[in-house]
Chain A
Amino acid sequence: MAQKLDKVDAVIVGSGWAGGIIAAELTKKGYNVVGLERGVDKDQEDYIGTKDELRFSRRYEMMQHLNKETITSRNNQDATALPVRTNENALFGTNTGGSGVHWNGVNFRFLPYDFEIYSKTVERYGKDKIPKGMTLQDWGITYDELEKYYDRYEKMAGISGEENPIGPNRSDKYPTPPMKDTPAIRLFKKSTSEMGYHPYHIPSANLSEQYKNPDGETINACMYCAFCETYGCDFGAKSDPIITVLKTAKKTGNYELRNEATVTRVMHDGNRATGLLYTDTKTGQEYEQPADIVVLAGFIFTNTRLLLLSDIGKTYNPKTGTGVIGKNFTGHFNNMTYLGARGFFEDKKFNNFMGAGALGATIDDFSGDNIDHSDLDFLHGFEVQIQTTGNRPIATNFVPKGTPSWGKEFKDKSLYYTNRNLYVNALSGSLPWQHNYLDLDPTYTDFLGNPLLRVTYSYTDQDRNLSRYAVDVCEKIMKKMGADTVEKDEITDDIEFNSSFTTGHFGGGAIMGNDPKTSAVNNYSQMWEMDNLFVVGASSFPHFGNYNPTETVGALAYRAAEGIDQFLKDGGGLLVKGNQVKSKT
């Protein structure tokens, strides 16, 4: 029997960027907030002295233990989904700060085109350009409306950046200057400039200098030690929720974070959410936490699954295309959207072991709709980048094609080329399709007996054509950079989604829009059907841009926090009226 606790103003699932930002904003205004985090309690000191590739990158120290809960995955509706059993295929963050602690720190804003993708595509190319089955839709918000929240997020996180020469409007410059450059970055910038493109430094949450944010939190300067991805920062020099928003929230005295608390249901009466039901995994005791406002700010799989388990919103039906919960699952996929060209240099050595998570350069000349798609067999685009994340020795053993993967020749060549190779790759926009979606698995359950979330996903010619075009561009750039041998990644006709969820970039399931028939939340991340329930995070992306998602998650969280405050002041109601929604009064 669940023990009922005292009511609070707001209860939040998750303590990552989305949950942390909302917690900070609400507690600063005096609301009392409880956060529920399924992972264990972590602080910055837990990450000091942890440059250990085996522990973090191979044994997945910071990732969700799949023995408690995972997802299942398949390629089409006729297949039986298999559980994703090991972290080799599932890098899902957990513990205090969530994925925001082990991220690389790459910070992009999505393009104005992204937010109005349907309208702008139709306007420029006509309706027929959108292939049958592609469920493109506008976000119900424009870039200009979101810009101030992007700016707030950047100032909170202290993002180090260089002006994008062909980027959208900004109300202010980056709070800290760009990071240092490297020989590889200089070579990339020089080569792409000469080719007529517009290179700039990747905007980074690995800070170029020590910075105090508007909330008074200090973030240190990056040491370029090359342990970012899948690691917490040794120096408190990578913006993460622990050293920024969670700290801010705790300082107010109005925030309580409960760790090892697995949320299983949103409690509701059909019209309003009344609280969250969760299990304390240390004791097995079940609790009900009542609240005026309920916020789901977990990873997209958590948010979507909780809505489905709680029977909130209309479940998406891939056959008819009706319903919304589970719709438009998209993302970046490691054997499709992270491809490019590798160059091997015979006589030139780079310090490939140095780096930082978001240290690199990129060009936006092919992003979104920046190229004319009239004669192309795909929509959307990609950014080409060189990333000097810092190669670690177990994971990186790059050898020219034709080299065996073990034995004498492999050992010799993998050692020789360790610091004699560079990689230029493209990150492309993943567009939604009617057949790609999320629902509950009929067979497999978690440690508490609740159904796992099931992913159904397959690639289309859109993905393959876009990726081939992108890889060709990468190849040209790598040749221009002077590599002796350039090998571009292959995209075969039968390449298929491999049920590997290792990029951390996934979206959809509870998407944002201006029509309750085709979206789950409005542009404040407020559920159309339950106005005191807010679902925040990449779960609200109607499609995936070609950029990394975090900054857009952060911006949407700032907007949601503003909406929640408004909602509490106004005494309820929808913050935006949908196209089809009648006024509640």
Chain B
Amino acid sequence: MTDKRSDDDKNLDEDGLSRRRFIKNTGMVAGGVVGGSLLGGLLTSQFQTDEETKTDKKQETSSDLQDARMFFNQNDFKVLQAATERIFPEDDNGPGAIGLGVPYFIDKQLAGSWGTNAKDYRERPFLKFNQVENMQQKDSENLPPNPQGAQGEDQKTNTENQRHQSRLNRREIFLNGLRKMNQLSQERFNTTFDEASEEQQIEILQDFESGKVKLKGVAAENFFILLRVATLEGAYSDPLYGGNKNMDGWKMKEFPGAQPAYTNKISQDEFAKIKPISLTDYQG
């Protein structure tokens, strides 16, 4: 097996500059050594020429070895897989949540500090159960499908702050919600959630979204918002987190990932089709 260094040197582009070494030069620029506009020109052209050779090769080695559960048990994970796939299904555009590795992404996220709300304020008193189990102002509680707000930010609902007043952490909310999903499926359709039909799964998810389901210690809508957003995060975050496999989420969305520069393209009228690169390559 070749090590990274010699692997790089084999992938020299026509100007004789390796991708990895080139990225190191970017670091020099950050220190103020090289002028920015000159570099902008170099970067955009460089990064398109030697695209094919590297990214696909890497996928074969490590990503599948990461697909193991750190947090969920087998049954909870099956429900999670089915639920995320309904939120972001496979279609003509490309893979769905399962194909993108979203369930493993969520499993990893919950196993880490995000799952225990480590950065959050967790001091008592918390709201009483009945206050967090029912979100107020029903008409505005759903995450807006078309979020308002500048700079790509979701508009927050009127109940935004109340949404985070549950004493449950994210791990507990997920387990609570997924198990309730399974239980409802058994009651209504006599089968586990992951074995239920698409229509049946959608029906149950809609009941969570609209708050028809009651969970203990958290509003069902809140669990649904968490599940939906985590699914999108898994579909579109850098592949280093275990989702967005093969950068397929980005490819579907025509998002080029961690490009160093658009200096030479940004003023142009035509749409730029650029093969995405991940941080695995960008950081070098």
Interface of A is mostly: loop
- On chain B, the residues within 8 Å of A70 by CB distance are 121
- Closest residue on chain B to residue A332 by CB atoms: B150
- What CA separation (Å) do A70 and B117 show in the bound complex? 14
Query: Which of the residues A82, A225, A412, A489 comes within 8 Å of B161, measured between beta carbons?
Result: A82
- What CA separation (Å) do A224 and B86 show in the bound complex? 36
- On chain B, the residues within 8 Å of A404 by CB distance are 145
Query: Which of the residues B120, B238, B283 comes within 8 Å of A54, measured between beta carbons?
Result: B238
Q: Which chain A residues (36-58) contact chain B, with CB distance < 8 Å?
A: 44-45, 47-49, 51-54, 58
Contact: A66 with B282, CB < 8 Å? no
Contact: A498 with B160, CB < 8 Å? yes
Query: Which of the residues A51, A233, A403 comes within 8 Å of B279, measured between beta carbons?
Result: A51
- Closest residue on chain A to residue B144 by CB atoms: A405
Given A54-B237, A389-B151, CB of A89 within 8 Å of CB of B160: yes
Contact: B40 with A221, CB < 8 Å? yes
Contact: B162 with A394, CB < 8 Å? no
- Flag whether B16 is at the interface (Cβ < 8 A): no
Query: Which of the residues A45, A47, A222 comes within 8 Å of B36, measured between beta carbons?
Result: A222
Contact: A66 with B120, CB < 8 Å? yes
- What CA separation (Å) do A387 and B271 show in the bound complex? 18
- On chain A, the residues within 8 Å of B268 by CB distance are 183, 351
Q: Mark B238-271, 1 if CB is under 8 A from A, else 0.
A: 1011000000011011111111111101111101
- What CA separation (Å) do A401 and B266 show in the bound complex? 29
- How many residues on B have C-beta within 8 angstroms of the other chain's C-beta atoms? 90
- On chain A, the residues within 8 Å of B120 by CB distance are 66-67, 85-87
Query: Which of the residues B36, B157, B228, B279 comes within 8 Å of A52, measured between beta carbons?
Result: B279
Q: Mark B148-174, 1 if CB is under 8 A from A, else 0.
A: 111111111111111011000000000
Query: Which of the residues A45, A87, A387, A489 comes within 8 Å of B119, measured between beta carbons?
Result: A87
- Flag whether A181 is at the interface (Cβ < 8 A): yes
Contact: A220 with B150, CB < 8 Å? no
- Give B165 Cβ to nearest chain A Cβ, in Å: 6
Contact: B36 with A235, CB < 8 Å? yes
Given A235-B26, A235-B36, A415-B93, CB of A53 within 8 Å of CB of B236: yes
- What CA separation (Å) do A487 and B39 show in the bound complex? 40
- Closest residue on chain A to residue B279 by CB atoms: A52
Query: Which of the residues B23, B156, B255, B267 comes within 8 Å of A89, measured between beta carbons?
Result: B156
Contact: A394 with B35, CB < 8 Å? no
- On chain A, the residues within 8 Å of B238 by CB distance are 52-54
- Give A238 Cβ to nearest chain B Cβ, in Å: 11
Contact: A411 with B89, CB < 8 Å? yes
Contact: B150 with A387, CB < 8 Å? yes
- Give B203 Cβ to nearest chain A Cβ, in Å: 12
Query: Which of the residues B86, B164, B272 comes within 8 Å of A407, measured between beta carbons?
Result: B86
- Flag whether B12 is at the interface (Cβ < 8 A): no
- Give A384 Cβ to nearest chain B Cβ, in Å: 11
- What CA separation (Å) do A182 and B272 show in the bound complex? 13
Contact: B228 with A406, CB < 8 Å? yes
Contact: B29 with A338, CB < 8 Å? no
- Give A13 Cβ to nearest chain B Cβ, in Å: 21
- On chain B, the residues within 8 Å of A445 by CB distance are 123
- Closest residue on chain A to residue B255 by CB atoms: A393
- On chain A, the residues within 8 Å of B233 by CB distance are 54, 58, 394
Contact: B253 with A354, CB < 8 Å? no
Contact: A82 with B162, CB < 8 Å? yes
- On chain A, the residues within 8 Å of B265 by CB distance are 351, 354
Given A59-B114, A67-B119, A67-B120, CB of A335 within 8 Å of CB of B156: yes
- Flag whether B6 is at the interface (Cβ < 8 A): no
Query: Which of the residues A181, A391, A405, A500 comes within 8 Å of B156, measured between beta carbons?
Result: A500
Query: Which of the residues A66, A226, A415 comes within 8 Å of B253, measured between beta carbons?
Result: A415
- How many residues on A have C-beta within 8 angstroms of the other chain's C-beta atoms? 100
- Flag whether A495 is at the interface (Cβ < 8 A): yes
- Flag whether B146 is at the interface (Cβ < 8 A): yes
- On chain B, the residues within 8 Å of A423 by CB distance are 150
- Give A49 Cβ to nearest chain B Cβ, in Å: 4
Contact: A353 with B150, CB < 8 Å? no
- Give A470 Cβ to nearest chain B Cβ, in Å: 12
Contact: A221 with B228, CB < 8 Å? no
- On chain B, the residues within 8 Å of A498 by CB distance are 156-161
Contact: A210 with B262, CB < 8 Å? no
- What CA separation (Å) do A85 and B159 show in the bound complex? 13
- On chain A, the residues within 8 Å of B117 by CB distance are 85-86
Contact: B30 with A45, CB < 8 Å? yes
Contact: B263 with A407, CB < 8 Å? no
- Flag whether A29 is at the interface (Cβ < 8 A): no
- Give A443 Cβ to nearest chain B Cβ, in Å: 7
Given A60-B119, A210-B35, A418-B254, CB of A338 within 8 Å of CB of B236: no
- Flag whether B178 is at the interface (Cβ < 8 A): no
- What CA separation (Å) do A580 and B240 show in the bound complex? 62
- Flag whether B70 is at the interface (Cβ < 8 A): no
- Flag whether B17 is at the interface (Cβ < 8 A): no
- Flag whether A264 is at the interface (Cβ < 8 A): no
- On chain B, the residues within 8 Å of A418 by CB distance are 253-255
- On chain A, the residues within 8 Å of B266 by CB distance are 180, 182, 224, 351, 354-355
- Give A60 Cβ to nearest chain B Cβ, in Å: 7
Contact: B271 with A351, CB < 8 Å? yes
- What CA separation (Å) do A52 and B32 show in the bound complex? 23
Query: Which of the residues A60, A182, A218, A405 comes within 8 Å of B32, measured between beta carbons?
Result: A218
Q: Which chain A residues (463-497) contact chain B, with CB distance < 8 Å?
A: 487, 489, 495-496
- What CA separation (Å) do A222 and B74 show in the bound complex? 48
Contact: A394 with B236, CB < 8 Å? yes
- Flag whether B118 is at the interface (Cβ < 8 A): yes
- On chain B, the residues within 8 Å of A237 by CB distance are 36
- What CA separation (Å) do A46 and B31 show in the bound complex? 12
- Closest residue on chain A to residue B125 by CB atoms: A443
Given A51-B279, A104-B151, CB of A83 within 8 Å of CB of B121: yes
- On chain B, the residues within 8 Å of A54 by CB distance are 233, 237-238, 241
Given A83-B121, A397-B232, CB of A225 within 8 Å of CB of B260: yes
- Flag whether B79 is at the interface (Cβ < 8 A): no
Contact: A407 with B87, CB < 8 Å? yes
- On chain B, the residues within 8 Å of A88 by CB distance are 156, 160, 164
- Flag whether A101 is at the interface (Cβ < 8 A): no
Given A88-B164, A225-B261, A236-B32, CB of A419 within 8 Å of CB of B271: yes
Contact: A48 with B30, CB < 8 Å? yes
Contact: B282 with A51, CB < 8 Å? yes
Beyond the given pairs A351-B271, A500-B156, 12 more chain A to chain B contacts, judged by CB atoms under 8 angstroms and listed by A's residue number, are: A47-B30, A60-B119, A84-B164, A223-B36, A234-B260, A236-B31, A335-B158, A338-B148, A339-B148, A393-B255, A408-B89, A410-B145
Q: Which positions in A face B, CB cutoff 8 Å?
A: 44-45, 47-49, 51-54, 58-60, 65-67, 69-70, 73, 82-89, 104, 180-183, 207, 209-210, 218, 220-226, 229, 233-237, 334-335, 338-340, 342, 349-351, 353-355, 385, 387, 389, 391-401, 403-408, 410-412, 415, 418-419, 423, 425, 427, 443-445, 487, 489, 495-496, 498-500, 502
Q: Which positions in B face A, CB cutoff 8 Å?
A: 23, 26-27, 29-32, 35-37, 39-40, 43, 86-89, 91, 93, 96, 114, 117-123, 125, 127, 142-162, 164-165, 202, 205, 209, 228, 231-233, 236-238, 240-241, 249-250, 252-263, 265-269, 271-272, 279, 282-284
Q: List 7 A-B contacts (CB under 8 A).
A: A49-B23, A88-B164, A218-B32, A237-B36, A351-B272, A399-B146, A406-B88
